[in-house]
Every structure is written in structure tokens, then in C-alpha cells.
Amino acid sequence: MKKLAALMAALSCVFAFADTYPSKPISIVVPFAAGGPTDRVARDLAEAMRKPLGEVSIIIDNVLGAGSSIGSNKVAKAAPDGYTILLNHIAMASMPNLLRKMPFNVENDFEYLGMINDVPMTVIAKPSMPAKNFKEFRDWLNANKGKINLGNAGVGSASHLCGLMFQNAVQIDMASIPYKGTAPAMTDLIGGQIDLMCDQTTNTTTQIEAKKVLAFGVTTAKRLTTPALKDLPTLQESGLKGFEVTIWHGLYAPKGTPADVLAKINHALKVALKDPDFIKKQEALGAVVVTDKRVEPAEHKKFVAAEIAKWSPVIAAAKEYID
């Protein structure tokens, strides 16, 4: 009887906790630098999720480093109470292949909450690049083999992964220049210190529109409808057959977070993804808000498992790892 009473008391505490959640600010850990494309998605999403979560404060916590593993590990080891959650992108699929030693298991140490968006990538170059179209750009690449600097936001970042695939596609090795975030990489690209980069439209659209960088292609199968990018050809139509890279973002909680709490967060996410203001902000940057079954935790997890398998041979071929 004592054991039964103790069990009932524990369950009542769990239910009471779920009923009052959230009763204090929620922290969304972003494992990349403030001001970058993933940070921007997180801040827009946090604003859209506040109302369905009872106007609770949502704080963005930028914990960067080691291909997003430091911030991700912080969430994996956090108390499973719903007050510390992770917003990460395709790095959830690249980490198992990039890190020689994983401090956590991507598939087993998190509760999957749902996908947020799909973000196309753009191949962009310094403004002084002497090319007016993709053919001339590729001619320049061939003429400058061994001298090309390809920037990225750090090993394991979206720009790093896209850069690896681009090198494979054009069959030209380039010097990979990792930065501590997208912002400094973009600054050096605009200044001509590096030659090119492949980055998310959430970061490049404004720079392309302002003509601060040159754009030579998008990584989607079809052209984009975003006004600033609608005339930009796909890399596939420019001759790189089969080249398609889309960066996605998702939400995660520590393993063991109560089911009722997870359900509340997933509900808030679904409401946010239908918020007209959030959709408008994402579309303006070329991102597509997820409306399919990947908003469900089980489908989200299945999708990430498939992405891990997809990126494994690409990363293995590049032999670029994080110790």
C-alpha cells in the first residue's frame, strides 16, 4: 500500500507540473552565433510561440562551438522539464558523421518536437568576381584551381555542408575557411577576403538584394518565388545534375521530458507555424514553413534518421572531422 501511495503521489506531481507548465521563462538553445540565420529563425519562432504558451517569456541562448555539439549537449544534459529546448538545423544529421567522439546520441538522447522550416541555399561570391553568369563562374573556378577560398560558418555548419557538396559537384578542391559564425564569413566575402560561400537564403537574400555579393544559383530543384531570388537559376539547370540541398530546422527537448509537456510545446509549435506574421517573415527570406507530417515528433525523428544516412558518404569523402 505504501508503494502504491508513493506512486500515486509521484503521478499527481507529474500531472500537476504538466497542468501548470509553463510557469517560468523557457530557454531555446541555439548552437550557433547570434545574428546568424538559425538565430534569426529562433527569434522569429520564439515570438510566434509566446501566445500559445500563455505569453511566457522565451529566451534565446546562443551556445556555439564544435559543429553545434556544445549547445546540443547542453540541452541533452538539461533537466527534462520543458524549460530548456534546442533549436538546431541539419547539424543534427551531420554531427554523428563529423564528430569523432559524440557526447550524446542524436537519435536517443532527445525528445523530437517537430520540424520548423526548409531553407534553400545560395552559391554566392565576392562582389569583385569577374563573372556574370554560372558558366562564366564555373570557367573562373576551373581557371583558379588551387587558389580558391571557400568560406563557411564553421565545421558542421550549413554552409560547410553545402560547400562540401558543391566541391564534389564541380570536382574542384577548395581551401575551406571556417569562421566563428555566418556574420564574420559574410563580412569577409563582401570585403573580398574569401572568394565564395554557399549559405542559407535566410542570411544571403538581403545581401543579394543589396548587390553586396554576387549570386550564381540556388540549391533547390525548382526556382524560388522570393522576389529577390526569382530570377536566380537552380544549380541543376546550370549543369550540376542532382544537386539539391535544403537546410531544415527542428525543435528538441531532453530525453524524459513529460509527455504532456511535450504535447504543449508541439501544439505551440504548430500554432506558430500557422502564424501569418511568422510565415511572412520566413517567405521573405526564401524559407518554406513546414506544413507536412514532419511537424509530428515521430515523423520528425524518422526524417532526421534518413538525413544522417544521406550525409554520411559526403562527409566521409571529404575527411573533415571535429576532434
Tens digits of per-residue pLDDT, 45-84?
A: 999 999 999 999 999 999 988 889 999 999 999 999 999 9
Q: What are phi and psi of 273, to 5 degrees?
A: -70, -10
Q: Evaluate if residue 286 carries a pLDDT over 90.
A: no
Q: What does the mean pLDDT of the chain come to?
A: 91
Q: Which residues contact 296 (CB under 8 A, 6 or more apart)?
A: 114, 266
pLDDT at 100: 84
pLDDT at 5: 54
Contact criterion met (CB below 8 Å) for 282 and 226: no
Span between the terminal Cα atoms of the chain, in Å: 53
pLDDT at 316: 83
Cell matching residue 191: 570585403
Q: Evaluate if residue 7 carries a pLDDT over 80.
A: no
As a whole number, mean pLDDT of residues 175-196 equals 94
As a whole number, mean pLDDT of residues 111-131 equals 96
Q: Which residues contact 314 (CB under 8 A, 6 or more apart)?
A: 161, 164, 165, 168
Tens digits of per-residue pLDDT, 143-175?
A: 999 999 999 988 878 899 899 999 999 999 999
Half-sphere exposure in the Cβ direction for 135 (13 Å, CA): 1
- CA distance linking residue 287 with residue 303, whole number of Å: 18
- CA distance linking residue 235 with residue 219, whole number of Å: 6
- CA distance linking residue 60 with residue 241, whole number of Å: 39
Q: Are strands 175-178 and 149-152 parallel, antiparallel or unpaired?
A: parallel
Among the residue ranges 9-23, 55-69, 125-139, 276-290, the one predicted with the least confidence is 9-23
Q: What are phi and psi of 149, to 5 degrees?
A: -105, 120
**218 DSSP β-pair partners:** 122, 234
Tens digits of per-residue pLDDT, 82-98?
A: 999 999 999 999 899 88
Q: Which residue has the cell 524518422?
A: 302
Among the residue ranges 2-16, 235-249, 283-297, 306-320, the one predicted with the least confidence is 2-16
Q: Evaluate if residue 278 carries a pLDDT over 70.
A: yes
pLDDT at 66: 85
As a whole number, mean pLDDT of residues 281-292 equals 90
pLDDT at 16: 47
pLDDT at 9: 52
As a whole number, mean pLDDT of residues 247-268 equals 97
pLDDT at 228: 85
Q: Evaluate if residue 319 carries a pLDDT over 80.
A: no
Tens digits of per-residue pLDDT, 191-233?
A: 999 999 999 998 899 999 999 999 999 999 999 988 889 999 9
